[in-house]
Structures are given as C-alpha cells and as structure tokens.
C-alpha cells in the first residue's frame, strides 16, 4: 500500500495536479505581468505580493458567479466541454517528463509524443464544440474560425515536432529530452522558429488570436460562458499555454535537464523545467505584444502557402544535416 500512497501523492500533489494547477496560475500571472510591463502598464499588483494571487482571485470570483445556460444551447455539450477540455489539457501535461519521469512514475512509452499531440488536438476540438453548442452567432463564427485555424496549423506543428524526434531516434518524450546534450533549439534553430510560430497559432495568441477577437466577435466561442464554465474554459486555455510551452521545452530545450545539478536532483529537474517553460512563455508573449491581429484569410493563406512548405523544407534540412548535428552532439559528450 505504501507504493500507492507515493503514487497518489505524485498524481495529486507534487508534481501532479496541485503543483501544475499552482504553476498554471503562476504562469497566468507571469504572462499578464510581463505583457503589462511591455505595454507600459502596472499589471496585477494588489492581490498578494506583486499581485501574484490575482489569477487565483479571478478564478474564485468566477466560481461564485451565476452559471447561465442560454435557452437554445445544447445543454449536455455546453456543460461537458469546458470540463473535458480542461481535463484533457491537464492529462497531456501529465505525460511530460517533468522530473525525468512523467507523473505516472514511468518514462512513458514509445510514441507518447503522438499521444499528447492527439490529446491536445482533441482538447481544441472540444473548444470548437463549446462554441458550436452555445447557439450564439459570435460563438458559431468563433467556432468556425477555431476549427479552420487548428486544422491548418496542426500540420506544421506536427511536422516540426518530427525534427527532434528524428534526431533523437525516438517518439518518446522522455527519450527526446534526455538525448539533448545540446538543446535542439541551438542545433536546428530553423525548426524551432517554425515550431514557435505554429505554436503561437495553436494557442490563439496575437497575431493569430482571430477565434476570440474581442472587437469583432466579442469572445468568440466563449461568448455565452459564465461562472464556473467560464472558469474552466479559461483554465483550459491557460493549461494549453503551459502544454505548448512544455512541449517546446521538452522537444527543443532539453526538458528537465539543466547544466548544473544539486541534491535532490528531482527538485532541480522541476526547477529547470519550470524555468524553460517560463522562457518559452516570455518569447510567446513578446511576439504577442509587438503584433496586430491578422485576419482569418491572412492566417489560413499564410499557413498553406508559407508555414506548411517551410516546415516540410525544414524537416528535409534537418534530415540532411543530421550526421553533422549528431557529430556536434557527441562532441559535447
């Protein structure tokens, strides 16, 4: 039974649900704060030191609000989608090797990279369903935009994850991250940049935030959500950002492995992982701050004409230069 206690501790407390939830809130605060500083604003500053508790306060406030379901909404889907979307995003983060192992105390299985990508695509599809089921014109347009955008950008995203997978010779997240003696971001920067662009589109951040462009379609797919459901939708979005940043950190920045280690190593694994995630988030936010929103047709055309061919070329480039890259990696060892 002792084993079970440790197992549940890992899943529920550290580095499982509770830790990830706290980290999500922290990242939300971090995002808002750096965004605000880049825009000459204060950002959250009242709740807790430096306003660090503001996201928590927001969620608590949302949980206390009246929960409204519109008359014509598909009630079942409308209620279910926020929860399932959040759970799926959380589950996909569980599969990452947060401290060398994933949350389930093993090193994952061959192909869990594809598994998490499938999970997160499914989570996006649920966001589409949530907009579709809300029976609101803004929700419909937002849902249509979300599905158009994701169908397009999932392809370059998956193609660019194949680069690191090829170099590591594995489709396992743990193996890819442990094989990086030198981060792949330095060895194959072309793939990393393309990956970040498609990630930006996947996470609906500027300049790709068309599915919830406030000034055009109010809140897009989330227009009709209120109270607890809105809280879950927002949590799901925040978790997806962590997922995206964690994917970038695992595939391109060496996952939880850092240059120097102290005891206990498990703790430092987490620290390095968190720092890398925050770094990726900072990059994403910087791009968001300096860009205006594109139009949906720009987004789609840009995808099929530029990003998809470019990601294919970058994959070819990675394969061609792989002997050289492998040599560099071994030289490091």
Partner 1 sequence: MKAMTPEEEAANIVKGALGEYVLESKIPKPRRVYIHVKPEANKKAVSTLLQSFPCAIISTITGIDLGETIEINYHFWCGKAEVTIRTNVPKSKPKIETITDIIPGALLYEREVHDLLGVKFINHPNLARLLLPESWPENSYPLRKDWNPKHVGNLAYSLEKTITLGETRTEKNAGLLVNVIVGPQHPALHEPERFLFKLDGEIVVDVEPRLGYAHRGIEKGAERLMFFQDVHLIERVCGICNVAHTTCFCQAVETLGKIEVPPRAQYLRMIVHELNRIHSHLLLLGIVGLEIGFESLFQYLWRDREIVLDLTEKLTGNRVMAEYSTIGGVRRDLTPVLGDEIKRGLRKIKDRLSFYREIFQSDPTVELRTKGIGMLSEEKALKLCVVGPVARGSGVKSDVRKHDPYAAYEDAPFREVLYKDGDSWARLMVRLDEVGESIDIITWAVDNIPGGPFRTRVPRRMPKREALSRVEAPRGELIHFVRGNGTAYPERVKIRSPTLANIISFREMIRGCYVADIPAVLASLDPCFSCTDRMVFLDEKSGRKWVWTLNDLKARRRI
Interface positions with partner 1 (CB under 8 A): 38-41, 68-71, 137-138, 141, 206-207, 209-210, 213-218, 289-298
Nearer to partner 1, 244 or 302 (CB): 302
Q: Please, which residues have CB within 8 angstroms of residue 70's CB and are 6 or more apart in sequence?
A: 78, 134, 135, 136, 224
Nearer to partner 1, 44 or 254 (CB): 44
Nearer to partner 1, 121 or 130 (CB): 130
Q: What tokens appear for 74 in the block?
A: 């598909």
- Compute the distance between CA of residue 179 and CA of residue 199 in angstroms, rounded to an integer: 23
**CB of 148: closest distance to partner 1 in angstroms?**
10
**CB of 213: closest distance to partner 1 in angstroms?**
6
Nearer to partner 1, 97 or 220 (CB): 220
Q: At what angle do helices 17-38 and 265-289 cross, to 10 degrees?
A: 40
**CB of 53: closest distance to partner 1 in angstroms?**
24
- Compute the distance between CA of residue 20 and CA of residue 25 in angstroms, rounded to an integer: 9
**CB of 296: closest distance to partner 1 in angstroms?**
6
Nearer to partner 1, 217 or 247 (CB): 217
- Compute the distance between CA of residue 324 and CA of residue 249 in angstroms, rounded to an integer: 23
**CB of 139: closest distance to partner 1 in angstroms?**
12
**CB of 297: closest distance to partner 1 in angstroms?**
6
What is the per-residue burial (b if ≥16 Cβ within 10 Å, else e) of 112-130? bbebbbebbbebbbbbbbb
- Compute the distance between CA of residue 236 and CA of residue 130 in angstroms, rounded to an integer: 12
Q: What tokens appear for 295 in the block?
A: 């139009």
User: Which helix (H) or strand (E) segment is 328 a member of?
Assistant: helix 322-332
Nearer to partner 1, 65 or 295 (CB): 295
Q: What tokens appear for 31 in the block?
A: 């995002």
Neighbours of 157 (CB within 10 A): 24
Nearer to partner 1, 292 or 331 (CB): 292
């Amino acid at each position: 039974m002792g084993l079970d206690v440790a197992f549940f501790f890992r899943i529920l407390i550290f580095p499982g649900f509770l830790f990830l939830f706290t980290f999500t809130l922290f990242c939300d605060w971090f995002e808002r704060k750096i965004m605000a500083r880049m825009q000459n604003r204060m950002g959250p500053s009242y709740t807790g030191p430096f306003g660090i508790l503001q996201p928590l306060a927001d969620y608590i406030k949302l949980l206390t609000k009246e929960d409204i379901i519109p008359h014509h909404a598909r009630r079942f889907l409308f209620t279910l989608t926020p929860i399932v979307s959040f759970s799926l995003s959380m589950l996909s983060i569980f599969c990452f090797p947060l401290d060398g192992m994933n949350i389930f105390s093993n090193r994952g299985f061959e192909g869990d990279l594809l598994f998490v990508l499938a999970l997160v695509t499914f989570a996006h599809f649920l966001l589409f369903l949530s907009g579709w089921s809300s029976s609101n014109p803004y929700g419909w347009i937002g849902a249509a935009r979300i599905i158009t955008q994701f169908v397009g950008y999932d392809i370059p995203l998956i193609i660019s994850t194949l680069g690191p997978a090829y170099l590591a010779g594995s489709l396992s997240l743990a193996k890819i991250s442990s094989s990086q003696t030198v981060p792949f971001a330095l060895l194959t920067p072309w793939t990393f940049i393309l990956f970040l662009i498609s990630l930006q589109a996947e996470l609906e951040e500027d300049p790709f935030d068309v599915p919830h462009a406030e000034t055009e379609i109010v809140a897009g797919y989330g227009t009709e959500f209120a109270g607890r459901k809105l809280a879950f939708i927002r949590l799901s979005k925040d978790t997806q950002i962590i997922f995206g940043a964690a994917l970038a950190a695992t595939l391109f920045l060496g996952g939880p492995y850092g240059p120097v280690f102290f005891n206990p190593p498990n703790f430092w694994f987490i620290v390095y992982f968190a720092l890398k995630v925050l770094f990726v988030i900072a990059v994403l936010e910087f791009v968001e701050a300096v860009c205006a929103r594109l139009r949906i047709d720009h987004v789609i055309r840009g995808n099929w004409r530029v990003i998809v061919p470019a990601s294919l070329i970058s994959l070819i480039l990675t394969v061609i230069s792989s002997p050289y890259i492998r040599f560099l990696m071994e030289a490091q060892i």
